[in-house]
Amino acid sequence: MNETARDRITQTLAGRTGRTFWRSLEELADTAAFREMLAAEFPALLPSLAPTGLSRRTALKALAGTLALAGLTGCDGQPDETALPYVTAPEGDMPGIARFYATAVRLGGYAQPVMGKTHSGRPVKLEGNPGHPATGGGTDLYTQAALLDLYDHDRSQGPRRRNQPTIWAAVDTALHGLTQEMDASRGEGLRLLTGPVTSPTLIRQMTNLRQRWPNARWHILDPLGGAGRLEAARLAFGRPLQAHALLDQAAVLVCLDDDPLGPGPAQATLARRWARRRLASQAGQGGCRLFVAEPSPTLTGARADRRLVAAPHRLPVLLNALEGGAPDLRPDEVRWLAEVRAALAAHPGQALVTVGPWCDPALQAQALRLNARLGAVDHCLRFTAPLTAQAEPWDDLVRDMAAGRVRGLVILEANPAHAAPDASAFRDALARVPFTLHAGPHLDETAAACQWHAPLAHDLESWSDARAVDGMVSLIQPLVRPWLGVRGRHALLDGLLGGAASDHAVVQATWRPELGADFDRRWTDALVKGFIPDSAPPWATPTVIDTAPASPLSAAGGLTLLVRPDPTLWDGASANNAWLQETPKPLSKVTWGNVVHVSPHLAALHGLKNGDEMTVTAGAVAVTGPAWILPGQEADTITLTLGYGRRLPSQTADGLGYDAYPLSAGPATLTPTGRTRDVATTQRHHAMEGEDFVRTVPVGHPTLPPEVQTPSFYPDTPPESPSWGMAIDLDLCIGCNACVVACVAENNVPMVGAELVAMGREMHWLRVDTYHEGDPAAPATYFQPVPCMHCEQAPCEMGCPVNAAVHSHDGLNLQVYNRCIGTRTCSSYCPYKVRRFNWYDYTAKAPEPVKAQRNPDVTVRQRGVMEKCTYCIQRISAARIQAKLKGEAIPDGAVVPACQQACPTQAITFGDVTDPQSQVSRRKASPRNYSLVPEAGTRPRTTYLARIEPDDGGAA
């Protein structure tokens, strides 16, 4: 007991006359803390509920009731719906046979449609939903990694109050108090803050809330979001509209600092569309030209036919020139523009010009008007009403909080104390709000700063809904019952409104009127499909209105800073996710941290090396991080990425990298600190050193010289049918890393951490090599996914002294973990270095929850054994068993390895190479087909299809 309490006791006792009974010192002291405890434990005793005080009769009634109900305390919270215990297994359920459920996970508020694979009720893998019209089964790396968030051992385990564990009853009491207060004031001073929202159910709940409390306000924090895009549409068409780039119909795509193929909620959809266009163009049906002008390299830039390195202030000039203006241009800009103009002229109505969401909305609007002139609107650029909910801006909230106008703040799935440009202002203003509650899956910076924290369920353990980027609504259904003290967001919001409905009931209530009389059948149908058909908003037909063109940007001397989402962490919400952390960034191959991207020119000027620590100052804010020389970066720009610099004590992401949120794009300065940092990177050489690992063919003559088979001492194994092989079309690969994370999820690949990655011990079975070619200032960039080649004449098999590396009858190069003694000869002999060694015991030392994620079909590996890509042999076996049960051959397409499944562009094909009609054989029959390092004489089963380039080379 502290000093004040003791003083209070003394005071109380001193002031009393007669006999005073008390049960505990706390009660006697009657401190605020004690009252809170009492309120949390026995909400019924609150003065608000019994305004006249507690009578003797009521107390006795309560006592009797308590006694009668005491036995119920042994019961847990009830699940939303009927769940069957495994004691009596569900009919038809076989242990060891996976079940798939269509559901979705969210990124930036948008649904990523998936099929969730569960083993005995445990989600073990997310696959793209092949039936979904937007993605067609492709995914991105975030979707693949979302599974690990479910098993994150740093997840919030239960509600907290002032950073101390508390119980849900306490949260309920607090919310109840808030409800009563708001009912009285019609919501005066109540603010809700969410991240971007597309969920119709959440929007319905918010509408209800605002009807009940008209004075309440809803703010949305979306630091990376599409607010600029909507604003641009408003400028161009007079109303905010969501643009849908139908890349599959755009024969020419011109991107000005835009990255449609890059990471983000739309990646899987846009990449799918672009790949469809690219495949058609490979087959000779129309063109697929891609022109990019950008200051900082992106995945789209890497795939461009012509990439122009353009400073941010040159973008309005270029757009002006495309519109027909005649500004002053540099020679390289003239060349680029000439080609773009020619391509645009050659494809009327099939050309699309896009401007990045981070650019000035006026510039984006200008591009929309240009698209209208080019005939793109209503063809390859269509519009719908906005998919994300529209609410009041975030800035107003911080202003009102600072002014003391906010009485209660409820934050739902947003992290304004970190992921906002003015996070520090928000943190300061938070102290002026009497009631603050944060609801989210993580104990993040905002959870630590708020009075209350309520843990929310992961998408895979809750009912909800959300729209995919094409507007189609996906139903989110749980794959597993929550095992932590978490709650669904709809139930929480319903609780705030005084209800007690479950998530399931709230979501159904949204759709019951929409789906009409045949609700049950249509609901089940939507659950099976994973989306509600025809739920996308209809196309809108915009008309261009006249507004002022974008004001030209002045060419500020000095350096320009760009702040971009991180290519593997996005906004940083899943920063604890080791799969994302250990995924190499597509261009720099850096893991477990963010770097300061500088141009080769700047590096030469200041004598910088990779890893030299730099301080970047923009305005009054400075961050420090290791420099990284990025070929193709505009000479005087620096790029920082978001999502790092987290302050999450004792969590995985704590202290990694710098926090770039407080910095705004614009002029900046760069100062070396003189120190050097070790950056964990997985690839140190990006030049092909005169070799042709990635081959290219001109579009006019897409043929490689035929390969001469090198002689071998060893006899050829007679090909049996089936005999597995893989073809990877480098012309379709966009380097997005979805395959890498899918492989990790499927094959129980352990994550090893920054220190071991820096030593060269990452465990990825599949990696994406990135090569640059040409002038470092404006290079061509190539991606090459490298799984095991499953060589027909495999050197590893010859080297292994104990027969642990062997060849199977169906052409697989197998690694028998049980037999491996760890001599590592196989890896020494491997020309492709795709083998990975268990230097330590990674499997047993993984965090406990992560062990529950593991795929039971894939063996985990002991310390001291070698492992590598198996072509997902467990999937081959499953398909073989199915085929045998039916008594037929394994049909083509029955075996889909995880990498192929995840690939949004269908760059990877797998199948039986002895069947000339199989998809993989047809791809391998392409004149673009080649083997990696044929001079090693290994006869790889994984082959590549050369990338197609414009007739006169790649880089502009």
Is residue 864 a contact residue for other proteins (CB under 8 A)? yes
Q: How far is the CB of 838 from other proteins (least distance, A)?
A: 7
- Note the residue count of the chain: 956
Q: Binding segment for other proteins among 85-93, 194-202, 401-409, 862-870 (CB under 8 A)?
A: 862-870
- 813 sits in the region (left: phi over 0; alpha: psi -120 to 50; else beta) called beta
Residue closer to other proteins (CB basis): 176 or 868? 868
Is residue 899 a contact residue for other proteins (CB under 8 A)? no
Is residue 463 a contact residue for other proteins (CB under 8 A)? no
Residue closer to other proteins (CB basis): 547 or 862? 862
Phi, psi of 85 (to 5 degrees): -75, 155
Strand-by-strand arrangement of the 381-384 sheet = 242-245, 381-384, 539-540
Residue closer to other proteins (CB basis): 93 or 692? 692
Q: How far is the CB of 690 from other proteins (least distance, A)?
A: 6
Binding residues among 406-435 for other proteins as defined by CB under 8 A = none
Strand partners, 411: 193, 438
Q: Binding segment for other proteins among 483-491, 539-547, 860-868, 878-886 (CB under 8 A)?
A: 860-868
Is residue 695 a contact residue for other proteins (CB under 8 A)? no
DSSP-based three-state secondary structure for 452:
strand
Q: Report how far apart, in Å, the C-alpha atoms of 586 and of each of 279, 337, 411, 729, 907 are.
A: 23, 28, 33, 17, 16
Is residue 586 a contact residue for other proteins (CB under 8 A)? no
Binding-site member from 820, 860, 872, 876 for other proteins (CB under 8 A): 820
**Identity of the amino acid at 907:** A
Residue closer to other proteins (CB basis): 838 or 874? 838
Binding-site member from 392, 422, 840, 878 for other proteins (CB under 8 A): 840
Residue closer to other proteins (CB basis): 358 or 840? 840
Those residues whose C-beta lies under 8 Å from the C-beta of residue 65, and which sit 6 or more positions away, are none
Is residue 718 a contact residue for other proteins (CB under 8 A)? no
Binding-site member from 547, 624, 825, 919 for other proteins (CB under 8 A): 825
Q: Do 750 and 840 contact (CB within 8 A), yes or no? A: no
Q: Binding segment for other proteins among 189-197, 300-308, 439-447, 799-807 (CB under 8 A)?
A: 799-807
Q: How far is the CB of 734 from other proteins (least distance, A)?
A: 18
CA 795, 801, 804, 806 dihedral sign is: positive
Tell me, letter by letter, the H, E, C secondary structure of 781-819: EEEEEECCCCCCCCHHHHHCCCCCEEECCCCCEEECCCC
Is residue 823 a contact residue for other proteins (CB under 8 A)? yes
Binding-site member from 93, 678, 691, 716 for other proteins (CB under 8 A): 691
- Of the CA atoms within 13 Å of residue 14, those in its CB half-sphere come to 6
Is residue 832 a contact residue for other proteins (CB under 8 A)? yes
Q: Report how far apart, in Å, the C-alpha atoms of 31 and of each of 9, 20, 21, 42, 524 are.
A: 10, 17, 17, 16, 54
Is residue 760 a contact residue for other proteins (CB under 8 A)? yes
Q: Binding segment for other proteins among 93-101, 331-339, 434-442, 796-804 (CB under 8 A)?
A: 796-804
- What is the total count of residues that contact other proteins (CB under 8 A)? 59
Q: Before 722, cis peptide (omega within 30)?
A: yes
Residue closer to other proteins (CB basis): 81 or 678? 678
DSSP-based three-state secondary structure for 343:
helix
Please compute Rg for the chain using Cα positions: 30
Is residue 603 a contact residue for other proteins (CB under 8 A)? no
Is residue 751 a contact residue for other proteins (CB under 8 A)? no
Q: Where are the alpha helices (DSSP H) in 186-311?
A: 200-212, 227-237, 267-282, 299-302
DSSP-based three-state secondary structure for 687:
strand
Residue closer to other proteins (CB basis): 104 or 946? 946
Q: How far is the CB of 932 from other proteins (least distance, A)?
A: 8
Q: Do 664 and 646 contact (CB within 8 A), yes or no? A: no
Is residue 800 a contact residue for other proteins (CB under 8 A)? yes
Strand partners, 164: 161
Is residue 844 a contact residue for other proteins (CB under 8 A)? no
Binding residues among 905-934 for other proteins as defined by CB under 8 A = 932-933
Q: Binding segment for other proteins among 85-93, 177-185, 317-325, 822-830 (CB under 8 A)?
A: 822-830
Those residues whose C-beta lies under 8 Å from the C-beta of residue 743, and which sit 6 or more positions away, are 749, 764, 765, 766, 787, 869, 898, 899
Question: What spatial distance separates the first Cα and last Cα of the chain, rounded to whole Å?
Answer: 74
Is residue 633 a contact residue for other proteins (CB under 8 A)? no
Is residue 935 a contact residue for other proteins (CB under 8 A)? yes
Is residue 827 a contact residue for other proteins (CB under 8 A)? yes
Residue closer to other proteins (CB basis): 306 or 686? 686
Q: Do 567 and 642 contact (CB within 8 A), yes or no? A: no
List residues binding other proteins (CB under 8 A): 683-691, 693, 756, 759-761, 767, 769-771, 784, 786, 795, 797-803, 819-825, 827-829, 831-833, 835-841, 862-866, 932-933, 935-938
